A and B are shown apart, each in its own frame.
Chain A
Amino acid sequence: MTRLIDVENLTLQFDTDEGRITAVDNVSFSLDAGEVMGLVGESGSGKSVTAKSLMKLNPRNAVYGPDTKITLHLDDGPVDVMSLQNDREMKVVRGGAISLIFQEPMASFAPAISIGDQMVEQLLIHTNFSKAQAKELSIEMLDRVGISDPSTRFTQYAFELSGGMRQRAMIAMALSTKPKLLIADEPTTALDVTIQAQVIDLMKDLVSEFGMGIIFITHDLGVIAQTADKVAVMYLGRLVEQGSVRDVIRKRAHPYTRGLLAALPRLEDMDAPLTPIPGDIPSPLERPSGCVYHTRCQEVVGARCATQVPEFMTVSDDHAAACHIYDGKGGDA
């Protein structure tokens, strides 16, 4: 498989009135073409910010760490995303090589412009198509994502479409520029389960057809199990576990991943008590020292959990966790 993107030591902080907040802390991962990576975490874990920084879509008060390196491997050679300065240079990445699907399809379409005009507009910006070609392709894409009567839908407005239909239109729009990488930020969270199943199916078909890479952001581990090839688990801006979907869900090396899976209500065993992770997610203003998870961790091995940031340790082939359990020093209690 060909490498699509390398992210190394991504660190991102925000300057706010209350001080500098660390949103993403030294995150590294890579993705191949045709691969689906699930990025899992609870609210405030930094998963959306991580994905958006791949196209430098961050507010003005964002400060990237000096070691941050994001390399996108395109047909014409590698692109160093961090070196892109203005909007014109960013065009290669934004809407070009990378497309983004948001969670709330109602908020992502302009309400007073028809779906079709919005689809054509972005094609005119990002491709050399004429208006007629852009319209033809847009209608073809609407048809491709399973929207019936696409030429009528093309002229309609967002409010005239149902939630599932809007999310399909959003996907059609994101894919019409033929991106190399699709970032899907909670694309099914606002949808009902039966519609969610339809959209997941559609996205799987599209990966095999277009061969692009997908970063699938969600808090729903069930959705991850159904879609992803590999998984990265985030907590408070840090990656805590990375591996194939089978390894992460079955072997769950990091205590946080274990806690997350144990907290899920399971249909197979309705009498099993639910085991919450104790405590609340700390505020980003009060990031714990050492391992960010140690304040809620049930498997603290010693004092170093509170003082020393754990390195990523290989648990088995292609499966790694950032936890002191695996540093070979044992408990120091």
Chain B
Amino acid sequence: MSDKPLISAQNLSVHYPLRGGSLLGPAPVVRAVENVSLEIAAGSSFGLVGESGSGKTTLGRAMLRAAPITNGDVLFEDGEVSYALKNLGKQDLKDYRKRAQLIFQDPYAALSPRMTVRDIIAEPLEVMGLTKSRAETDARVREIAAKCRLNVEHLRRFPHAFSGGQRQRISIARALVSGPKFIVADESVAALDVSIQADVLNLLKAIQQDMGLTFLFISHDLSVVAHVCDHVAVMYLGRLVETAPTRQLFAAPRHPYTKALLSAIPSLDPDDRGRAQKLEGEIPSPTNPPPGCKFQTRCPVAIDRCRVEEPKLERAGPQLNVACHRWHALSV
């Protein structure tokens, strides 16, 4: 792991137009991601957590140029090429696709039932024209399949013959076959059973070290993120509310939302009940966000200032950023 970022978002916003609105005046938009800046160091795992509707998937897609970038930009720099994603040309975008890949959440929906495992894994190579002969494709598929603990016999079968964990390993092999540097893993273990989940997480960690990959790990499960990631960012309603090294975030959360999120994880101790700090209400609709701080409607420590002025993400320590008017007052 180095300190140099492989990929960084700079004041990145993704807005989607809403239907309706009048002919005059600006069209209404949903601000799915608003003014997000973050850096992911080469070779590290960066965790992105938040509730559903917080914009974490959209942010992940924007970093792959799979969602439209409205404002700001994403910079990618792997030592061979350097791209600014917002206005990337067609040829460069094609090249970027092979350097940045996505692992999907649901291994049952992500694999075509009509293709053999070999064809599924080989498809990116053929579409991107990365191999010259069938023999070369086969060799590459076998090599990557072995890394994901799939044997030659598996390659001949169709996805329906596989369990959830095996299917997820097939999805991982497909994402890795083009030799990417950057992987977005969007809820990649959420659909798996606990006993299988640990196996896939261990595999991802081993492959990361083996191939020197950089991960953006999107998850709603904080304990999974705690085990896999070096650095974590917490999102709420399209904004980053806190980013910190994993240990620091879990040991001393600064933002009231992070605190609530951590305390809501059900404890495995049956005698430790009702300790959770209860958060009232639900995440507001992104089509109609509250004024001021987006979290003020549920925040237990909100003051008048929070209701009118939106806090900026500010430095709260080395590698530590918080967007809250009150973090300083509350931490002393």
Q: Which of A's residues lie within 8 Å of B, judged by CB? A: 42-43, 162-165, 192-198, 200-201, 219-223, 225-226, 228, 245-246, 249, 259-261, 263-267, 270, 273-277, 280-281
Choose one: B194, B222, B266; the contact of A225 (CB below 8 Å).
B266
Which B residues are CB-close (under 8 A) to A197? 264, 266, 276, 278-279
Given the interface contacts A162-B282, A280-B165, does A226 sit within 8 Å of B273 by beta carbon?
yes
Choose one: A164, A196, A246, A265; the contact of B270 (CB below 8 Å).
A246
Cα-based distance from A143 to B195 in the complex (angstroms)? 40
Cα-based distance from A219 to B195 in the complex (angstroms)? 11
Tell me the dominant secondary structure on chain A's binding face.
helix
| Cβ-defined contact, B266 with A226, below 8 A | yes
Given the interface contacts A219-B193, A222-B266, A265-B227, does A192 sit within 8 Å of B278 by beta carbon?
no
Which A residues are CB-close (under 8 A) to B51? 192-195
Cα-based distance from A267 to B225 in the complex (angstroms)? 10
Nearest CB of B to A304, in Å: 24
Cα-based distance from A174 to B222 in the complex (angstroms)? 31
Nearest CB of A to B207, in Å: 15
* Closest B residue, CB atoms, query A221: B268
How many positions in chain B have a CB within 8 Å of any CB in the partner chain?
44
Q: Judge if B201 is at the interface, Cβ distance under 8 Å.
A: yes
| Cβ-defined contact, A260 with B195, below 8 A | yes
Which B residues are CB-close (under 8 A) to A163? 52
| Cβ-defined contact, A277 with B273, below 8 A | no
Which A residues are CB-close (under 8 A) to B247? 270
In residues 203-260 of chain B, which contact A (Cβ within 8 Å)? Answer: 220-224, 226-227, 246-247, 250, 260
Cα-based distance from A197 to B165 in the complex (angstroms)? 28
Q: Which of B's residues lie within 8 Å of A, judged by CB? A: 51-52, 163-166, 193-199, 201-202, 220-224, 226-227, 246-247, 250, 260-262, 264-274, 276, 278-279, 282-283
- Besides the contacts A165-B282, A219-B194, A226-B267, what 4 more A-B pairs have beta carbons closer than 8 Å? A42-B193, A219-B193, A264-B223, A280-B165
Cα-based distance from A192 to B202 in the complex (angstroms)? 25
CB-defined A-B contacts under 8 Å, sample of 15 = A42-B193, A43-B164, A192-B283, A221-B268, A222-B266, A225-B267, A225-B268, A226-B266, A249-B270, A259-B195, A263-B197, A264-B268, A265-B227, A274-B202, A276-B197
